[in-house]
Amino acid sequence: MSASSLSAPSFRAIASSSRRALSARHAFPSTVPRLAKLPTSSGTRDKSAVGVFTPKAAALFAVTGAALFFYFRSEKDKLQEQRRKEKEDQVVGRPQVGGPFTLTDHKGKTFTEKDLLGKWSLIYFGFTNCPDICPEELDKMSAAVEKLDKEYGPIVQPVFISVDPARDSVPQVARYVSEFHPRLVGLTGDYATLKATCKAFRVYFSTPPDAKASDDYLVDHSIFFYFMDPNGQFVDAFGKVSTEEDVVERVKKEIARWEGETGRKV
């Protein structure tokens, strides 16, 4: 059959069928699967796929974790201290802290609670062989008193009371307090007297009653210094988390309140 004998519709059908067959023969899939990454010649995987965790990165991770741990623990302690003070502010009246005592100062003279009347006072209980906490707290207290002295004069009396009567003799206490504020008064006494004084101020201490000066021991005790008003009444207590600025601001606030209510200055 010649092309001339074909009708026009038949010729168009044959041409269309040929084009479809040709298109199918040369068609490719719309997507081509990716080849998986093969191991390198050394048998190790591509570092870009798994990352690099070097000893230096591990050390940095450990240091950062430790820093965050101590930061959040410090913030937690500050929050607990703030909540404690807020609860005390909500209580009607003041806690029964303090009372009569008769001790010996670092100059060998008798010193009682009456010697603190008429002045504000900051009182810390500790011992002269304390390796770190007592010196740190006394440094903080002394620095706060120095700032208050510049603004008000010597109206705040710093006091150190020993909880280690066996080793803290009068000469020993005298040497110790000379390392801090020049007006710091050091007090000591026998075991029974100091125990009664600590009980009045709600101070815990673990000194053995039969301890000797030659014994080697540490003393566990409460880590607070107490803020007392000119009438010998308890105002507040500052713990280890309290800063020097906290002490200064609290004392200034109480002085302003006192002067406003009484109309007189110390």
Q: Taking phi first (over 0 means left), then psi (-120 to 50 degrees means alpha), and beta for anything else, what does residue 64 get?
A: alpha
Q: What range does the domain containing 100 cover?
A: 70-130+145-155+162-180+198-211+240-266
Is 130 annotated among the ligand-binding residues? yes
pLDDT digits (tens, 9 = 90+) for 17-76: 545 544 444 444 444 445 445 455 444 444 444 455 687 777 777 788 878 877 777 777
**Residue 139 in domain:** no
Q: Is the pTM of this model over 0.75?
A: no
> Taking CA 101 as the corner, what is the angle to CA 197 and CA 261, rounded to the nearest 5 degrees?
100
**Residue 259 in domain:** yes
Task: Select from 207, 178, 181, 202 the least CA-distant residue to 192.
Answer: 207
As for how many domains the chain has, the answer is 1
**Residue 265 in domain:** yes
141: number of Cβ within 10 Å: 24
**Residue 27 in domain:** no
CATH number of the domain to which 169 belongs: 3.40.30
**Residue 166 in domain:** yes
Residue 187 tokens, joined: 């007090």
pLDDT digits (tens, 9 = 90+) for 158-202: 999 999 999 999 999 999 999 999 999 999 999 999 999 999 999
**Residue 4 in domain:** no
**Residue 235 in domain:** no
Is 198 annotated among the ligand-binding residues? no
